[in-house]
Amino acid sequence: MKTCMSCLKKIPTRSGILTDCRTMCASRSAAGPTALIPMQGLGITPKTSCAETTDTPFPAYPALWCGCAFVFGALFSLYILSPFGVAYSVASIVERSVFMDCFQNSSHMTDHGPSPFCANILCASQANPNYRTAFWTGCYLQMTLMEIPRCGDIGLEVHPNTDQLIRVEAGQAMVRMGCSSEQLDIQCSLGVDHAVFIPAGTWHNVINTGNCPLKLSTVYAPPYHPRGTVHRTKEDGEH
């Protein structure tokens, strides 16, 4: 757009077209108020004077969208290059690689006791596909890994001579405990990294209250299940 120096009217600009309307204004003045000056290519209809000329504004939306895209791109680049963005990206890559390695090696899960053994319990729990898997069994202690399906539970049970520790590795749960099967007066919600200690002779049940499988690691002292126990389903463990 350019401004006419005679009438201060803004005139559209296009390549190869004279945009200064002073010549048009002078021509109109010499020809009379009713003269029509050709204005081909300007995208406006000739009027009797420049004062009556109507602008045909060009759409501003392309420029607006380009500006928004530029701002969004700049902000996204700043986030990616920021320490938080870099740390989050690296953590995601590492976590994905660790869990992929766990699932690839899940078929090799076995009871590693009673030999000395080191393991990532979170990784092993995520890789466990069974309702119960004896992960390590020694003379005085045992660890099993469990997967409780959505809306499932381990069932009300009691271990007369075994203390027990249950830790939530993934998911959400509700634990109910008491001195008898009819009196479960202790109730607590459990989340990831929460643990519950169950003394010998205490009735208890752990219920999956989340929307995904509940992953548990369980420690028995002394061992409760035979070494190498694998129960693919809850029904297998009840037989």
Q: Concatenated DSSP letters for 86-101?
A: HHHHHHHHHHHHHHHH
Q: Tell me the chain's radius of gyration from C-alpha atoms.
A: 39
Q: What is the pLDDT of residues 192-233, one digit of tens each?
A: 999 999 999 999 999 999 999 999 999 999 999 999 999 999
In 3D space, the residue among 69, 79, 29 whose CA is nearest the CA of residue 50 turns out to be 29
Percent of the chain with pLDDT over 90: 52
Q: Just give the CATH number of 110-238.
A: 2.60.120.10
Q: What is the pLDDT of residues 125-171, one digit of tens each?
A: 999 999 999 999 999 999 999 999 999 999 999 999 999 999 999 99
CA distance 71 to 48: 45
Give the Å distances, CA to CA, from 22 to 1, 44, 46, 53, 157. Answer: 15, 16, 15, 13, 99
Q: Where are the domains of the chain?
A: 1-57, 61-104, 110-238
CB 94 within 8 A of CB 115: no
Q: What is the pLDDT of residues 183-196, one digit of tens each?
A: 999 999 999 999 99
Which residues are CB-contacts of 1 (< 8 A; sequence separation ≥ 6)? 10, 11, 12, 13, 55
Name residue 92's beta-bridge partners. none
**Amino acid (1-letter code) at residue 217:** S
CA distance 52 to 48: 7
